[in-house]
Chains A and B, each alone.
Chain A
Amino acid sequence: MRSTPRWRPPLSEPLTLFDRIWRSHVVASLEGGADLVAIDRIFLHERTGAAALNALAAAGRKVADPARVFAVTDHIVDTRPGRTDQTLMPGGQAFIAETRAATQAAGIRLFDVNDPDQGIVHVISPELGIVLPGATLIAPDSHTCTQGAFGALAWGIGSSEAEHAMATGTLRLKKPGTMRVTFSGTLPALVTPKDMALALIARYGAGGGAGHAVEFAGDAVRALGMEGRMTLCNMATEFSAMTGMIVPDEKTFAWLEGRRYAPAGPAWDAALAHWRTLISDAGARFDREIEIDAGTLAPMISWGTSPEHAVGIDQCVPEDAPQRALDYIGLEKGTSLRGIRIDAAFIGSCTNSRLSDLRQAAALLRGKLVADGVKAICVPGSSRVKREAEAEGLDRVFVEAGFEWRESGCSMCFYAGGESFGHGARVASTTNRNFESRQGPNVKTHIASPATVAASALAGCLADPREIT
């Protein structure tokens, strides 16, 4: 006899990718509305890692599962060829030595100065298959959101939270809101994921994503390769979002297969089956939605001291620009950005230092020369990227054009007291922050894509890559 059930479970409510990952990691709900959230991966770097590990040890606490904690020397380590532990930053060696000692004592895998897998934390974590779809990954570094490109929940934290996560395998967190940023249409030629990020922040403000985890969606996002997706997610923190993330797809899985710490064999198949469920359901509700037509975007350039101070390269410094920013950057309202003379060009950082970035810049530089008087530097994002670029001959393209070709690391993305471009220098840079003195005392940073920076290096002034022939 067929019985009619009196009660049927409600159709499960539609969920966002973020909600799926969050819910599956809640260990307990805490009083006061926060959750205790399980953390799958922790990545430290030598700038802040030793401080967290030393504080933990001083409190008599242990790292709960050292096999899921990794560390790298990327921030302070020198990037000039033939490097050792010596740094240009005064006292930098101590950070490297202490990180080495502290990770060894805790049983944590360190990708050390001359390890073939060394590189910028957010570049090597995906290369090694350390970040995985559906995983929670944290690092005491604000650009950890880069790794959300793999459908992971990855975000930056402070040192105390790193200590907490290492000691307990969890964090106490208040759930953020959700926001979906949909880029419809198709990106025009020489308009890049960097320009998508800058356009979003310019339009909605550097605080526009505050309190939210952002999912990037839409045809223009789907069309991006994994490296471009990382560039887009990288700048979620410049948008003040907790993180950026993208629903994983076949491109994601293909990119990860065979990576060192990614599952293999039957574990890969099991993981894949799980990862394919990591979607945002059709009816899922986001707390906020933003839509941008990617087809209308232009190469972007920053003119001020916040990432929200950015316009298309063919535009002028806006009339409502704050005076403080103009005083620092040394520009006036109404000045055309194109044609502003630069002293230096920098291609590198966790935003734009992967193979596709270097290829894009090299395509413009091939057979040409950097303008006289422009100090031009290219720093691959990882030792692997460097090897792969050299195998393609990209290093020669850069060097023959007049660029320095470096060992990998954060290098002059930020100033730690060592190397800089010179007091007050004006730099076209593929980095993510144009803050006052970020790249050195009084250095004036204009952030842009690798194509725009390469074009500017050739022209000796801010230039539109679409006009390079």
Chain B
Amino acid sequence: MAQPLSQITSLPLPLLRDNVDTDQIIPSREMKSTGKTGLAGGLFAGWRYIGTSGREPDPAFVLNNPRYAQSEVILAGRNFGCGSSREHAVWALAEFGFRAILAESFAPIFAGNCVRNGIVPIVLEADAIAAISVSDAPVTIRLDEQDVTSADGQRWTFAIDAEAKAMLRHGLDAIDLTLQQAQRIAEWQGCDRAARPWIYLEETA
């Protein structure tokens, strides 16, 4: 379960490309086990390392720039996290130490995966992204206030679902929350079984 999160102050890592897909975030060849860990080394492997098999850092890629070594926030363009639904992309980002992503837009499955793993997906207008990029200085993200502020005093608010906010804020586990409604689910299924009996299959294994 993710750690509760209320405020982050960090220099954002600029990754201002559109359509950064999950194959780039964690290449399929880097998903070497069926577990959720051991992925940080493969984060952005295709861009981060020289060649496709080695681990020699490519100095041209921003993740290898010592200036951003402590960044906990990514600054991105449009449609971040598109492509494959692999949650490994978010596990790799979280394991590496990222806790928020500021982007013009997100792919929906990716944004959902972020929330479940303690990363805040924040949508900002293009001009806000540009301003943060130009200043290249730390920003502060406050979840309760739903705002991002820059060191020079600019402030942008963002929208987030109440449920996503509560889950991130308190590190809640969605399954536990839902199981509180087990009675209700059973009742619903009772009615549904009468209305759509064909949906309920006998043992198939």
A in complex with B = yes
Check A90–B79 contact: CB distance below 8 A. no
Check A91–B32 contact: CB distance below 8 A. yes
Which secondary structure dominates where chain A touches chain B?
loop
The answer, yes or no, to whether A55 is at the interface (CB within 8 Å) is yes
Check A242–B108 contact: CB distance below 8 A. yes
Measured in the bound complex, the distance between the Cα atoms of B178 and A432 in whole Å is 35
The answer, yes or no, to whether A334 is at the interface (CB within 8 Å) is no
Which residue on A lies nearest to B184, using beta carbons? Answer: A28
* Residues of B contacting A55 in the complex (Cβ-Cβ under 8 angstroms): 36
The answer, yes or no, to whether B144 is at the interface (CB within 8 Å) is no
Check A51–B205 contact: CB distance below 8 A. no
Chain A: minimal CB distance from B127 (Å)? 18
Which residue on A lies nearest to B24, using beta carbons? Answer: A436
* Residues of A contacting B107 in the complex (Cβ-Cβ under 8 angstroms): 210, 240
Check A32–B166 contact: CB distance below 8 A. yes
Chain B: minimal CB distance from A99 (Å)? 8
Measured in the bound complex, the distance between the Cα atoms of B188 and A345 in whole Å is 50
Which of the segments A163-171, A182-190, A355-363 contacts the partner chain? A163-171
* Residues of B contacting A159 in the complex (Cβ-Cβ under 8 angstroms): 36, 87
The answer, yes or no, to whether B60 is at the interface (CB within 8 Å) is no
Measured in the bound complex, the distance between the Cα atoms of B1 and A59 in whole Å is 11
Measured in the bound complex, the distance between the Cα atoms of B82 and A403 in whole Å is 32
The answer, yes or no, to whether B46 is at the interface (CB within 8 Å) is yes
* Residues of B contacting A94 in the complex (Cβ-Cβ under 8 angstroms): 33-34
Which of B28, B36, B85, B181 is in CB contact (< 8 Å) with A36? Answer: B181
Which of B23, B83, B163, B199 is in CB contact (< 8 Å) with A30? Answer: B163
The answer, yes or no, to whether A353 is at the interface (CB within 8 Å) is no
* Residues of B contacting A435 in the complex (Cβ-Cβ under 8 angstroms): 21, 23-24, 83
Which of the segments B4-12, B128-136, B148-156, B190-198 contacts the partner chain? B190-198
Check B161–A33 contact: CB distance below 8 A. yes
Which of B90, B105, B201 is in CB contact (< 8 Å) with A158? Answer: B90
Of residues 111 to 159 in B, which have CB atoms within 8 Å of A's CB atoms?
Answer: 112-113, 116-117
Which residue on B lies nearest to A109, using beta carbons? Answer: B204
Q: A36-B181, A240-B108 are in contact. Are A417 and B34 (CB under 8 A)?
A: no
* Residues of B contacting A134 in the complex (Cβ-Cβ under 8 angstroms): 196
Check A158–B175 contact: CB distance below 8 A. no
* Residues of A contacting B56 in the complex (Cβ-Cβ under 8 angstroms): none
Check B116–A270 contact: CB distance below 8 A. no
Measured in the bound complex, the distance between the Cα atoms of B161 and A32 in whole Å is 7
Check B184–A324 contact: CB distance below 8 A. no
* Residues of B contacting A168 in the complex (Cβ-Cβ under 8 angstroms): 175, 178-179, 182, 185
Check B205–A107 contact: CB distance below 8 A. yes
Which of the segments A12-20, A62-70, A282-290, A383-391 contacts the partner chain? A62-70
Measured in the bound complex, the distance between the Cα atoms of B107 and A25 in whole Å is 24
Which of B46, B162, B181 is in CB contact (< 8 Å) with A33? Answer: B162
Of residues 50 to 84 in A, which have CB atoms within 8 Å of B's CB atoms?
Answer: 50-51, 54-55, 59, 61, 65-68, 70
Check A211–B188 contact: CB distance below 8 A. no
Which residue on A lies nearest to B188, using beta carbons? Answer: A27
Check B178–A164 contact: CB distance below 8 A. yes
Q: A48-B86, A90-B32, A98-B34 are in contact. Are A206 and B79 (CB under 8 A)?
A: yes
The answer, yes or no, to whether A231 is at the interface (CB within 8 Å) is no
The answer, yes or no, to whether B27 is at the interface (CB within 8 Å) is yes
* Residues of A contacting B179 in the complex (Cβ-Cβ under 8 angstroms): 167-168
The answer, yes or no, to whether A232 is at the interface (CB within 8 Å) is no
Which of the segments A3-11, A135-143, A191-199, A221-229 contacts the partner chain? A135-143
Which of A34, A95, A132, A433 is in CB contact (< 8 Å) with B83? Answer: A433
Of residues 142 to 171 in A, which have CB atoms within 8 Å of B's CB atoms?
Answer: 142, 156-161, 163-164, 167-170
Chain A: minimal CB distance from B200 (Å)? 7
Check A160–B116 contact: CB distance below 8 A. yes
Measured in the bound complex, the distance between the Cα atoms of B107 and A242 in whole Å is 9
Please give the number of chain A residues whose Cβ is less than 8 angstroms from any Cβ of chain B in the complex: 87
Which residue on B lies nearest to A262, using beta carbons? Answer: B198
Measured in the bound complex, the distance between the Cα atoms of B187 and A28 in whole Å is 11
Measured in the bound complex, the distance between the Cα atoms of B19 and A433 in whole Å is 12
The answer, yes or no, to whether A441 is at the interface (CB within 8 Å) is yes
Check A172–B163 contact: CB distance below 8 A. yes
Check B17–A67 contact: CB distance below 8 A. no
The answer, yes or no, to whether B189 is at the interface (CB within 8 Å) is yes
* Residues of B contacting A40 in the complex (Cβ-Cβ under 8 angstroms): 199
Chain B: minimal CB distance from A65 (Å)? 8
Which of B116, B162, B200, B203 is in CB contact (< 8 Å) with A107? Answer: B203
Measured in the bound complex, the distance between the Cα atoms of B197 and A57 in whole Å is 29
Chain B: minimal CB distance from A16 (Å)? 19
The answer, yes or no, to whether B66 is at the interface (CB within 8 Å) is no
The answer, yes or no, to whether B70 is at the interface (CB within 8 Å) is no
Q: A27-B188, A417-B29 are in contact. Are A441 and B52 (CB under 8 A)?
A: yes
The answer, yes or no, to whether A331 is at the interface (CB within 8 Å) is no
Chain B: minimal CB distance from A238 (Å)? 8
Which of A240, A271, A437 is in CB contact (< 8 Å) with B23? Answer: A437
Chain A: minimal CB distance from B77 (Å)? 10
Measured in the bound complex, the distance between the Cα atoms of B17 and A99 in whole Å is 36
Apart from A47-B31, A435-B24, list 19 A-B contacts with CB within 8 A: A27-B181, A27-B188, A32-B162, A32-B166, A38-B192, A66-B204, A67-B204, A98-B34, A103-B205, A142-B84, A158-B109, A158-B113, A161-B116, A164-B178, A168-B175, A270-B198, A271-B196, A305-B19, A437-B27
Q: Top 3 closest A-B pairs, CB basis?
A: A32-B162, A417-B29, A263-B198
Q: Which A residues lie at the B interface, using CB under 8 A?
A: 27-28, 30-34, 36, 38, 40, 47-48, 50-51, 54-55, 59, 61, 65-68, 70, 89-91, 94-95, 98-99, 103-104, 107-110, 132, 134-135, 140-142, 156-161, 163-164, 167-170, 172, 174, 176, 206-207, 210-211, 240, 242, 261, 263, 267-268, 270-271, 274, 305-306, 308, 322, 324, 414-417, 423, 433, 435-438, 441-442
Q: List 23 A-B contacts (CB under 8 A).
A: A33-B161, A51-B34, A51-B35, A65-B200, A67-B200, A67-B201, A67-B202, A67-B204, A67-B205, A89-B29, A91-B32, A104-B205, A110-B205, A132-B199, A134-B196, A156-B109, A159-B36, A160-B174, A163-B175, A170-B185, A240-B107, A271-B198, A433-B21
